[in-house]
Amino acid sequence: MKNTTGKLCQNLRRLSRLLFLCFTVNVYFISSGVAQSNKWVEQMLYDNPYTSFCSTDFEKGISNGNYGKYPVTNLFDGTLHTCWVAGNSQTALLYVKIPDAVNLNKLILNIFSGYGKSQSLFLANARPKKVKVTVLAAFVPDGYVSENAMACLMSQYPKGINLELADTFAVQSFLLKFNTDSLDRFFDVSLHSLKSFSGGKIISNLPENFIENVQKFIVLKVEILEVYAGTKYSDVCISELFFNDRFVTAKGSEAENLKDISIENDSILKANYADGSRKTILSGKNSTFTNVEISSDKKWAILYYVPNEVVGEGSRVEELHSLIDLTTFRVIDAEFEKETGVSPTFLNFSDDSEKVKVTDFVSEVELL
C-alpha cells in the first residue's frame, strides 16, 4: 500500500502541475427542463483497480504525502478486515464513479458501515447511521485524462438520497431504482449547458468540438450525516463500498491447504486437504448432488443438485445451483442475491484468467 500510494502521489503531483439487509430507493429525474445548477463542480477522480474515486482526506494526502493508516482505498480492496477512517464526518466527502459494467436498471449500492475486522472493533469505533447520496452527471473533456487520474466537470442533481443504515455487523444493500429515460435527458440537458462553461481552476478551457469526444458517466457523492457512537474511539469507519458487480463477504480459514472437493453418496460434499485430511462441507438430506465445480483460487464452489421430491423415473427437471464459500463452508445464495440482484439458481464460473467471476449469462459478478 505504501509503495503504490507513494508512486501515485508523485504521478498526481505531476498531473496537477500539468492540468491543474436489502433496501429500495427510488431516484427520479425531471423529464424536461431538468433542475440544473449554473455552478459546475470541478473534481479530480483517481484511478483504482475497482473504480475511480476521490475523498477529502485523499486530496490532502496528495498534497502532503500522508494518506494515513486507514486510507480511502481500503473501501475498494475487497475485504472487510480493513476500513476507511473518514475523519471529521461533518466535512468528509467521498466521490465514487459507478463502474461501466453495472446495469443502471438494477443498481445496488453495498456498504459495510463500521470496522469489519471484528465485532469488538466494530463496536469500539463510530460508524455511519445516516448518509446522503447525491447523483452527479460527470463529463471528462478530451485531454484531461492521465495515467492515474482524470479531471471532471460534474452537474449535481439537486435532490439527494438519504439512506439510513442499521447498526449491524454486515453488508447492507440498497437498490437504487433509476428512471433511465429521465436520466438520459438529464445528461443531455447537462451536456448542452456545458457549452457555457468558461473555465475553472482545474479545467481552464474546453477544446473545440468537445461534445464529440467527451466521456460521460455517473458519480455518486457520499456524505455522512449522522453516526453511531463508538464505545472507545470517535473515528468514523466504513470497511467496504461496492456495487452489484462484486460480491464481498466475511472470510474464514477452511480453504487453507485445500486440495479439492468431492461428492460422496450423492448427498455429502467433502473438502479434501493436501495432508490427506477431510472435512464435511455440506450434507444434503433433501437433495441429490449431481456435480460440483471449484474456482481457480479454491475459495468458491458451485454445487449442482436436484431436490429429492422431483427425482424419479421419467422426471424432467433442470439442475439447480448453489454458491458455497469454501473459506467458511457456508451456502451463501441469499446473501449473494441480496448484494448482486443475481439469483444463484443457474450460476456458472466465468472464463476469466485474472479474476474469479460468476455469471448467469446476463450479469457477471466478481467474487472477493
Contact (Cβ atoms closer than 8 angstroms) between residue 298 and residue 258: yes
Lowest mean pLDDT segment, chosen from 38-47, 122-131, 202-211, 231-240: 202-211
Contact (Cβ atoms closer than 8 angstroms) between residue 53 and residue 94: yes
Contact (Cβ atoms closer than 8 angstroms) between residue 177 and residue 41: no
Q: Residue 39 is which amino acid?
A: K
pLDDT at 30: 37
Q: What is the mean pLDDT of residues 110-128?
A: 97
Q: Parallel, antiparallel, or unpaired for β 268-273 and 41-46?
A: unpaired
Write down the domain spans for the chain: 2-244, 258-367
**In what order do the strands lie in the sheet containing 300-307?**
287-294, 300-307, 320-325, 330-331
In this prediction, residue 182 has a pLDDT band, given cuts at 50, 70 and 90, of: confident
Contact (Cβ atoms closer than 8 angstroms) between residue 153 and residue 139: yes
pLDDT at 341: 95
pLDDT at 148: 93
**pTM flag (> 0.75):** yes
pLDDT at 24: 59
Q: At CA 81, angle to CA 80 and CA 82, rounded to 5?
A: 95
In this prediction, residue 184 has a pLDDT band, given cuts at 50, 70 and 90, of: confident
Of 99, 45, 48, the closest CA to residue 365 belongs to: 99
pLDDT at 207: 78
What would the pLDDT profile of 8-66 be if each residue is shown by its tens digit?
A: 444 444 444 333 345 556 554 433 334 444 478 899 999 999 999 999 999 999 888 88
Contact (Cβ atoms closer than 8 angstroms) between residue 90 and residue 150: no
Most confident segment among 4-18, 73-87, 194-208:
73-87
pLDDT at 280: 97
Q: Which residue has the higher pLDDT, 314 or 156?
A: 156
pLDDT at 213: 84
Rg of the chain taking only CA atoms, in angstroms: 23
pLDDT at 23: 59
N-terminal to C-terminal alpha carbon distance within the chain: 18
pLDDT over 90 percentage in the chain: 64
What are the DSSP calls for 194-251, one per residue? GGG----SS---PPTTHHHH-EEEEEEEEEEEEEEPPSS---BEEEEEEETTEE----
- Burial class of residue 201 in the structure, from the number of CB atoms within 10 Å of its CB (0-12 exposed, 13-18 middle, 19+ buried): exposed
8-state DSSP, 257: T
Q: Helices 56-64 and 2-18 sit at what angle, rounded to 10 degrees? A: 90
What would the pLDDT profile of 258-267 be if each residue is shown by its tens digit?
A: 999 999 999 9
Q: What is the mean pLDDT of residues 345-356?
A: 88
Lowest mean pLDDT segment, chosen from 148-157, 208-217, 282-291: 208-217
Q: What is the mean pLDDT of residues 314-334?
A: 88
Helix (H/G/I), strand (E/B), else coil: 264? strand
